[in-house]
Amino acid sequence: MTGHSRVVRDNVHRDIELTDDISRLVDTRTFQRLRDIKQLATCHYVFPTATHTRFVHSLGAQHLAGVLLEHLETVDPGRITPEDSRLVRYAALLHDIGHPPFSHALESDKVFAHYKHHEAWGRMILEDPENDLRQALVELVGEEGLARLFTILDGTCDFPVLHDIVSSQLDVDRLDYLMRDQINTGAKIGTFDVFRIFRAMRIGDDGHLTISRGGVAEVESYLIMRYHMYHNVYFHKLNMLTTAYVIRALVRARELVVAGEMTVSRRMERMLTDENLSVKDYLALTDSLIYAELSAFVTHPDPVLSKWSGLLASRTGMHKRVRVRDLTEVAFWGAQNNIKQILADAGHHPDEDMIVTRVSKEGYRPYTGGIRLEDGRDISEVSPMVASITAPLNDIMLFVPEDCREAAENAIQSAMVGE
């Protein structure tokens, strides 16, 4: 650390020390935007304290990268050069730079006129010659350094461990967000010791990150916690429902704006209608902008727009999840028409008020660069616990108005009997 480093107080890692070069990147307007991008989108409707941001998560990821790099230099000295070590920390810091408002929730072509994944936007941001973050990077590492940073981010670098630290099944991104999300949601569903995991890490002969046999138990704890965080936090029914409300409100807003029946802020209009959205206009999009627009939609005369935004504003009359365990796609399709009729008979809109969200998450994936031991075996080969969570999660969540829930449940049960 240099004499110009500064310290950020963090509720997860306690002190995060920022060297002067990291501070240079953090202080750019582009990076500061992440203060206004919540890490967990609408999750604060479920867990009120889950208001932490991509900004602090990014600081945490680069902090963990620095700790891990120091450990690897101790156990495998000289294999990672000081220049590459520096670039890995930059990559960890900047891995989320391209996130839209509401993070993953709005990564949808239903909302953006021209959809791009956040990693694609991240690359475009760092390739934009007018961007202040790119300019700071070029001043720090030059064009050649920036080109190598891209290979670390996208996994094409000649030394795979550099990418593994930033993006793999056991990377500093996942380690930080799991620790941070658990603390900030208040969810108590297991824990792991990140430093014990780091102590078990080595650089394999093939240049990939590996763990020693003694680290298996701690990695098991990490994977089990990850499994439960997805089931109990990220895929919480109210989180899924409020995300659906946001998307439906913005989809309706887009229809009205395109039809010339409503005006929104210039920034929002560009998001909804500009098929060639510029980097500058994309970076003007934040959570605060979306919330301000949603708040205004509540009193709009369009009944569809005011309905979805109003449900977020008041939380009265929210849809309820049908209580059917292991709801299958087949059972849903078999009952769909009956449920629409139930909704229509009760005076609801049969298409609007049947909200279907699909929960899709691949399990632990040993076949796509899993977590390997020093002897080359995947952790699932030595851990029955890990082997048990390799199955993907593909569930349906169905929400209907509360007065129709019981009838909808009965319709689904009947369909499931007939499968």
Beta-carbon contacts of 102 under 8 Å, excluding residues fewer than 6 positions away, are 37, 38, 41, 42, 243, 246, 287, 290
Q: In terms of residues, how long is the chain?
A: 419
Model confidence band, residue 365 (pLDDT cutoffs 50, 70, 90): low
Q: Are 137 and 126 in contact (CB under 8 A)?
A: yes
Domains of the chain from N-terminus onward: 6-234 (1.10.3210.10), 319-419 (3.30.70.1370)
Q: What's the confidence (pLDDT) of residue 295? A: 96
In this predicted structure, the answer to whether residue 396 has a pLDDT above a threshold of 90 is no
Model pTM score:
0.94
Look at residue 1 in the predicted model and tell me its pLDDT.
42
Alpha helix ranges (H) inside 230-328: 237-258, 266-273, 279-283, 287-297, 303-314
Cα diameter, the chain: 72
- Burial profile 249-281: b = 16 or more Cβ within 10 angstroms, e = fewer: bbbbbbebbeeeebebeebbbbbbeeeebebee
Q: How far is CA 380 from CA 216, 223, 348, 364, in A?
A: 10, 11, 48, 9
Q: What is the DSSP string of 81-104?
A: -HHHHHHHHHHHHHTTTT--TTGG
Query: What is the token pair recorded at 67?
Result: 């700790």
Whether 64 contacts 195, CB under 8 Å: no
Report residue 340 as tokens: 């629409």
Render pLDDT for 173-216 as a digit per residue (tens, 0 to 9): 999 999 999 999 999 888 999 999 999 999 999 999 999 999 99
Q: Specify whether the backbone of 138 is left (phi greater than 0), alpha (psi in -120 to 50) or beta.
A: alpha
Residue 362 is predicted with a pLDDT of: 66
State the pLDDT confidence band at 124, using cuts at 50, 70 and 90. Answer: very high
> What integer pLDDT is reported at residue 363 of this predicted model?
64
Q: For the purposes of burial, counting CB atoms within 10 Å of the CB of 244, is it exposed (0-12), middle (13-18) or buried (19 or more)?
A: buried
Q: What is the pLDDT of residue 368?
A: 60
Ramachandran angles phi, psi of 11, nearest 5°: -80, -5
Is the pLDDT at 361 greater than 80, yes or no? no
Strand order across the beta sheet in which 320-321 lies: 320-321, 393-400, 355-361
Structure tokens, 94: 């900047």
With contact defined as beta carbons under 8 Å apart, do 372 and 378 qualify? yes
Residue 17: in which H helix or E strand, if any? strand 14-18
Mean pLDDT within 36-44? 95
Kind and range of the H or E element at 14? Answer: strand 14-18
Kindly tell me if the per-residue pLDDT of 315 is higher than 90: no
Question: What is residue 2's predicted lDDT score, i.e. its pLDDT?
Answer: 44
Q: Which of 124, 226, 144, 233 is nearest to 184 (CA)?
A: 233
Q: At what angle do helices 266-273 and 287-297 cross, to 10 degrees?
A: 100
Average pLDDT estimate for 7-23: 96
Contact, 157 vs 151, CB < 8 A?
yes
In the three-class reduction of DSSP (H, G, I as helix; E, B as strand; rest coil), residue 4 is classed as coil
Region 99-110 average pLDDT: 87
Indicate the pLDDT class of residue 3, thresholds 50, 70 and 90.
low
Percent of the chain topping pLDDT 70: 97
The helix/strand count (H/E) of the chain reads as: 19, 7
Please say if the pLDDT value at position 279 is more than 80: yes
Position 366 scores a pLDDT of 56
How far, in Å, are 66, 105, 148, 159, 210 from residue 151 at the CA level? 19, 27, 5, 10, 20
Mean pLDDT along residues 16-22: 96
